[in-house]
Structure 1
Amino acid sequence: MTHTLIRNGNLVADDWTILQLAEGDSPAAVALPAGKTFFPLAVWQARRADILARGEPVGLLLQPDDRVEDIVPDLPRFAAIAVHFPKFADGRGFSTASLLRQRHGYRGELRAVGDVVHDTLFYLKRVGFDAFALRSGKDAEYAAEEGFDAFSERYQAAADQPLPYFRRRSA
């Protein structure tokens, strides 16, 4: 089943699969699907060579407890990284995105997945996300039209605007 995704402000068909490990599945023994796939960090660590040998674009799925520092040497290998938000109130994914973009210079697609709603799109984009898979049942068209324009000016520096407002005004 194809889902709709917001990528760079546009609605597009999602052509990636997220590999989910069931409880008790061994990361070293799980079957690797064909096609563009987001692999959980544990699977990437256990099956790196097998995943790369597939010759397909590689995506990584990060959970809130996964450490960005563990993947820095491999960042150039990932066409996309999905950061999972297990619930609306869990903001650790914002820090993950900021670290990936600002500290480690990741330039591939950075996707927010999980409990993602239109109210958070403005803030998610500010820290570096450029793709958004909304929570099931949410209107992607409405979110794409309304979710990014919550504020007309941004005072703080961030991934989407490195200069704070006072520096932009004086320029």
Structure 2
Amino acid sequence: MKLFNLSGRKTLEEASPVAFADWKDAPHGTAISLPQDVEVEDLRSHLNELTLIVLEFPIFRDGRAFTQARSLREYEGYKGEIRASGHLLPDQAIHLKRCGFDSVALPEEANTQDWDEQLSRYQFYYQNTAVSSA
């Protein structure tokens, strides 16, 4: 796996996220992997302790992680790193960034140039975003 930085912020490359199922009964560690069927509100009292939340895209057509990221940034005020993991395409780079993701976990064979090209594709946006620098 290699990381692609969407936000320009420093990423936590060495972090080892704990599965939410293991973490929820006895919260430990500062990095978790959150499946799409968990509400981000379940993390509210622990957000200050978490430095990395990995949001999963188990299949291409399931985009609930976009909503989770936006909720973490916009409604919960989460300031740590949000990383996308799973079935993703370079075409989604801009939307990931605008929803609040900082990085994407890519397979080793992924072409990061495709991701860079997508990030520089548009210069102006008409819609609001969950992050101010997108």
Taking structure 2 as the reference length, the TM-score comes to 0.86
CA distance in 2, matches of 1:114, 1:76: 25
Match of 1:130 among 65, 78, 102: 102
Distance verdict in 2 for CA 1:13–1:83, change over 3 Å: closer
Match of 2:123 among 152, 155, 164: 152
The CA deviation at 1:133 is: 1.0
SS at match of 1:157: coil
CA distance in 2, matches of 1:65, 1:79: 21
SS at match of 1:133: strand
CA distance in 2, matches of 1:160, 1:142: 23
Match of 1:66 among 14, 35, 38: 38
Mark the runs of 5 or more structure 2 residues left unpaired by the alignment: none
Higher RCO, 1 vs 2 (CA within 8 Å, ≥6 residues apart): 2
The CA deviation at 1:39 is: 1.2
1:5 aligns with 2:3: yes
SS at match of 1:87: coil
CA distance in 2, matches of 1:61, 1:13: 14
The CA deviation at 1:9 is: 4.5
Report the equivalent of 1:76.
Answer: 48
1:41 aligns with 2:20: yes
Counterparts of 1:16-27 in structure 2 under 5 Å? 16=15
The CA deviation at 1:136 is: 5.7
**Given residue 83 of structure 1, which amino acid in structure 2 is its aligned partner?**
L
Residues matched between the structures, number: 132
The CA deviation at 1:13 is: 8.9
CA distance in 2, matches of 1:76, 1:82: 15
Taking structure 1 as the reference length, the TM-score comes to 0.69
Report the equivalent of 1:89.
Answer: 61
Report the equivalent of 1:110.
Answer: 82
